[in-house]
């Protein structure tokens, strides 16, 4: 697919070019991420309307899950442009499959609100659902989010997965207090998936 399209839209062209070089693929790339999604989205839609094929990729995980992908997909579909999914790695599903927690039913809530009060309120609403909760979190907010999880859910064991589908993947099961002690002791790097079993 990546060899056949006219252009590849990606979060970080440097990361994607490394993948393309590995497979000897020479398709042009363009950046498409949260801060440029409106401008770049218009250009990508123009190319699609001209009949050019565009691939949308992410650094890890699946495009359209907690990234700007849904906006481009929605606008393309509204114009009658077909959207074809190509299965790939998903940090959400990878975390659940390796967490060892009940996952016959679960709620995925992406990234929680940034403001502490709204974050706590959202966690309280999720706790009331009485099912496994899966969240994404950035390295800059993971400590504050774990503190809120401990406050709302208590100090029961949960899974913190970092850098899933990437080179430095790790999956740790422990109470929030233990995760907090570990993350406060060293620089926090990478993207996180938090799994709170019920």
Least confident of 13-17, 33-37, 85-89: 85-89
pLDDT at residue 156 greater than cutoff 80? yes
CB atoms within 10 A of CB 120: 17
Q: What single string gives the DSSP state of each residue in the chain? A: -TTTSSEEEES-HHHHHHHHHHTT----EEE--GGGHHHHHHHHHHHHHTT--EEEE-SSS-TTSSSSHHHHHHHHHHTT----------HHHHHHHHH-S--SSEEEEEEPPSSHHHHHHHHHHHHHT-SEEEEEE-TTTHHHHHHHHHHHH-S--EEEEESTTSTT-EEEEE-HHHHHHHHHSS---S-EEEEE--
What's phi and psi for 143, nearest 5 deg?
-65, -50
Residue 123 has pLDDT above 80, yes or no: yes
Which pLDDT value is given to residue 42?
96
Q: How confident is the model at residue 61 (pLDDT cuts 50, 70, 90)?
A: confident
Contact 99, 195 (CB under 8 A): yes
First-to-last CA distance in the chain? 40
Q: What does the pLDDT read at residue 166?
A: 79
Q: Is the pLDDT of residue 60 over 80?
A: no
pLDDT at 13 over 80: yes
Rounded CA separation 131/105 (Å): 7
Residue-range domains of the chain with CATH? 7-78 (3.40.1010.10), 91-196 (3.30.950.10)
Residue with tokens 């940034």: 114
CB 179 within 8 A of CB 195: no
d(CA 189, CA 73): 30
Percentage of residues of the chain with pLDDT beyond 70: 100
Q: Supply 103's token pair.
A: 């996952």
């Amino acid at each position: 697919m990546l060899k056949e399209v006219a252009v590849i839209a990606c979060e970080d062209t440097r990361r994607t070019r490394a993948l393309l070089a590995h497979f000897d693929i020479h398709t042009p790339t363009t950046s498409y991420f949260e801060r440029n999604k409106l401008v770049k989205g218009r250009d990508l839609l123009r190319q699609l309307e001209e009949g050019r094929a565009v691939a949308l990729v992410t650094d890890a995980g699946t495009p359209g899950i907690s990234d700007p992908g849904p906006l481009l997909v929605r606008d393309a579909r509204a114009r009658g442009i077909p959207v074809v999914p190509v299965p790939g790695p998903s940090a959400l599903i990878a975390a659940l499959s390796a967490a060892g927690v009940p996952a016959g039913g679960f709620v995925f809530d992406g990234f929680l609100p940034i403001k502490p009060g709204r974050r706590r309120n959202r966690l309280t609403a999720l706790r009331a659902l009485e099912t496994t909760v899966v969240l994404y979190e950035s390295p800059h907010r993971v400590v504050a989010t774990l503190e809120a999880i401990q406050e709302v859910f208590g100090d029961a064991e949960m899974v913190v997965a970092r850098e899933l589908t990437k080179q430095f993947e790790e999956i740790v099961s422990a109470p929030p207090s233990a995760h907090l002690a570990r993350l406060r002791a060293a620089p926090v790097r990478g993207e996180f998936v938090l799994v709170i079993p019920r």
